[in-house]
Amino acid sequence: MPLTRKAYRAAILHSIADPAIVGIEASYEYFEDGLLVIDNGQISAVGHASDLLPTLAADIEVTHYQDALITPGLIDTHIHLPQTGMVGAYGEQLLDWLNTYTFPCESQFADKAHADEVADIFIKELLRNGTTTALVFGSVHPQSVNSFFEAAEKLDLRMIAGKVMMDRNAPDYLTDTAESGYQESKALIERWHGKGRLHYAVTPRFAPTSTPEQLALAGQLLGEYPDLYMQTHISENKQEVEWVKELFPERKGYLDVYDHYKLLGERSVFAHGVHLCDDECARLAQTGSAVAFCPTSNFFLGSGLFNLPMAEKHKLNVGLGTDVGGGTSFSLLQTLNEAYKVMQLQGARLSPFKSLYLATLGGARALRLEDKIGTLRPGTDADFLVLDYNATPLLSYRLKQANDIAERLFVLMTLGDDRTVLQTYAAGQLVHQR
């Protein structure tokens, strides 16, 4: 195959470490006039344009963006594909919201045409918002995952998804059995896991909707295949936490249910974690598990405030999640806008560089993919964005008042949304153009 080399010139910014560990100044690289060089879908060089331009052959195409910022593609560590059609549904907290809106909406995914249509809309929406990798819940129907992976494979996206396992405490039309959930998941793993840039996640919805038998089989799947992911929910809502205590009186707490069934591990991501305690954070960190911080959802459903400082104290991996349709936007920029407010309400600060980390390298580390995505380091996949400083009149005016990249970055995260994303690239290919 002939080498296809391209270069992109603009301001360039990426995270290289967690600011909570190394301090803000050592956590990022910024090139005011930068150059990103791509060879066959991978990043081969990043740095100052003045250093790299002389190294390029005369016939290399260089795309030059004015008033723009190149960043790594954004990473969403918790989102529900089947809830796309009910995003922004009125008036309920978690458990009533599931019964009133979510379950009826998810019932439609037995139909292939419906699943195909929503998968197409969903992926376009992710890419429009600059999300190049997501950890995705399907519905209980295998078709939801097949449709999603078929659409993702066409664009060579790095995506992770799984069929929901749910064999109790849900409507009859939306449950599997412990055995059918295991067998259907196994068939999807055999078909998709490790194919191209696709990965499979074993997906028990949450402890209340799985019997002990189903949770045991979910743990068994993780033991049978290397590098599988596991995704579920934890401690999102106080009523839900109490329900888990009633359903599993023999366990020490919510996390202990998952721990007992061998669901904690380096590729396990627990969504929300709003009401985790210190000991649970310590145990998650000890097992290499991660938490998905979903601020728009936690506000919208009245669930509470995620304690990021406690997670940082335990060096627990944290990614960011939009949680659509519990959350109200596919935009991780808007999600960071809300994350900042969550911290403000707890008397803490969220620096723009920590926000960048959560949406990129932090998410990659939560997914154990930091060698492939989340930064612009040479040797990683060329998943990146071009953010437009003039996307809206207000953004353009406000950025002219910004004194440095820290202020510019913060303004992008408070005033930015899907309109800010000029272009999205995956594996070096243009997959979205505004």
d(C-alpha 167, C-alpha 171), whole Å: 10
Residues present in the chain in total = 434
165 shares its domain with 251: yes
Domain that holds residue 428: 5-73+375-433
Statement to judge: residues 215 and 290 lie in one domain: yes
In a domain, 405, yes or no: yes
Q: What is the CATH number of the domain that holds 66?
A: 2.30.40.10
| 110 and 48 in a common domain | no
Based on the fold, state whether residues 326 and 178 are members of the same structural domain: yes
- Residue in 418, 421, 363 with CA at minimum distance from that of residue 158: 363
- CATH code of the domain in which 218 resides: 3.20.20.140
Contact at 8 Å (CB) between 49 and 31?
yes
Identify whether 364 is part of a domain.
Answer: no
Q: Could you tell me the CA-to-CA distances from 5 to 10, 59, 427 in Å, in that order? A: 17, 10, 12
Rounded CA Rg of the chain: 21
Tell me the one-letter amino acid at 286: Q
Residues 79, 80, 84, 87, Cα dihedral to 10°: -70
Q: How many CB atoms lie within 10 A of CB 64?
A: 12
Give yes or no for a contact between 70 and 62, defined as CB atoms under 8 angstroms apart: no
Distance separating alpha carbons of residues 306 and 199, to the nearest angstrom? 28
Q: Is residue 15 part of a domain?
A: yes
pTM: 0.96
Q: What is the DSSP letter of 174?
A: G
Rounded to an integer, what distance in angstroms lies between the CA atom of residue 336 and that of residue 236?
19
Q: Are residues 159 and 13 in the same domain?
A: no
Cis previous bond, 325, omega within 30: yes
336 falls within a domain: no
Tens of pLDDT, residue by residue, the chain (434 residues): 456 899 999 999 999 999 999 999 999 999 999 999 999 999 999 999 999 999 999 899 999 999 999 999 999 999 999 888 888 877 777 778 777 878 887 878 888 999 999 999 999 999 999 999 999 999 999 999 999 999 999 999 999 999 999 999 988 889 999 999 999 999 999 999 999 999 999 999 999 999 999 999 999 999 999 899 999 999 999 999 999 999 999 999 999 999 999 999 999 999 999 999 999 999 999 999 999 999 999 998 899 999 999 999 999 999 999 999 888 999 999 999 999 999 999 999 999 999 999 999 999 999 999 999 999 999 999 999 999 999 999 999 999 999 999 999 999 999 999 999 999 999 999 999 99
**In contact, 49 and 35? CB cutoff 8 Å:** yes
44: number of Cβ within 10 Å: 16
For residues 389 and 315, state if they share a domain: no
